[in-house]
Amino acid sequence: MVVAAVQGTLEERGPGYVVVAIGGLSLRLFAPNSTLAHLGPIGAPVRLLTYLLVREDALALYGFATADERALFEQLLTVSGVGPRGALALLSAMEVETLRQAIVAGDTTRLTLVPGIGKKTAERLALELRGKLGPRAVVAEPRDEMAADVAAALATMGFTPQQVQQALDAAASSPATTLEQRILAALEFLRRLGTRGARG
């Protein structure tokens, strides 16, 4: 039997998972942050598209707010070295279309900002999925080496992948020409947003 979706009442939510009550059953589903953000409060009705992962030692159910999220999750699992945890981390760090674009563009700088995704895995993502993500994936302009250095500096300061990406985009449009100026421009942008690194 293939479980395509579950519909019930949100009973519990936590980091990376939800529990949905369906009749007399309570199902635990792992989900990316993008899905969790769409859910209502405890007790609210919920419907999630699902993916059932079957292994010899376990069954795990994954839930998604949209068909696009689920489809990309399934595609990520086909890449060597990317398991469910890594796929969820990628979907949690970026919107679906942004993630598609990063993969198609071979933007390993952006991909390696995701916890658990190293350079080799990022390269495999681009190599194995570049031609499989469909016409909606638009190739982005390749990032320069300075952007990678700025990203590394911000990540060291404890900023999240989403914050780093926002700051990179802002710094790229600034008149800054040196690495120090780019970093300062990125930090100023984050300061205006009221964000601070984990070590800040």
Query: What's the Cα-to-Cα distance from 1 to each of 4, 51, 52, 171, rounded to whole Å?
Result: 9, 12, 10, 50
Architecture, CATH, for domain 5-64: Beta Barrel (2.40)
Tell me the C-alpha distance between 123 and 105, whole Å: 11
Q: Are 150 and 182 in contact (CB under 8 A)?
A: yes
Tell me the C-alpha distance between 194 and 192, whole Å: 5
Pick from 52, 167, 35: nearest CA to 95? 35
pLDDT in tens, 51-60: 988 777 778 8
Average per-residue pLDDT for the chain = 82
- Is CATH 1.10.150.20 correct for 67-129? yes
Q: What is the mean pLDDT of residues 61-82?
A: 92
pLDDT in tens, 147-169: 767 776 777 677 777 777 778 77
Pick from 95, 84, 83, 87: nearest CA to 34? 95
What token pair was written down for 147? 């952007």
Identify which has the larger pLDDT, 133 or 146.
133
Task: Report the pLDDT value the prediction gives residue 199, as an integer from 0 to 100.
Answer: 45
Task: Report the pLDDT value the prediction gives residue 3, as an integer from 0 to 100.
Answer: 60
Of the listed ranges 2-11, 57-66, 122-131, 165-174, the one predicted with least confidence: 165-174
Tell me the C-alpha distance between 68 and 74, whole Å: 10
Half-sphere exposure of 79 (CA within 13 A, CB side): 29
What is residue 16's three-state secondary structure? coil
In the chain, where the domains are located? 5-64, 67-129, 145-193
End-to-end distance of the chain based on CA atoms, in angstroms? 50
* pLDDT grade for 73, boundaries at 50, 70 and 90: very high
Identify which has the larger pLDDT, 64 or 178.
64
Burial of 46: CB neighbours in 10 Å, binned 0-12, 13-18, 19+: buried
* pLDDT grade for 198, boundaries at 50, 70 and 90: very low
Of the listed ranges 24-38, 88-102, 129-143, 181-195, the one predicted with least confidence: 129-143
Of the listed ranges 22-26, 76-80, 91-95, 195-199, the one predicted with least confidence: 195-199
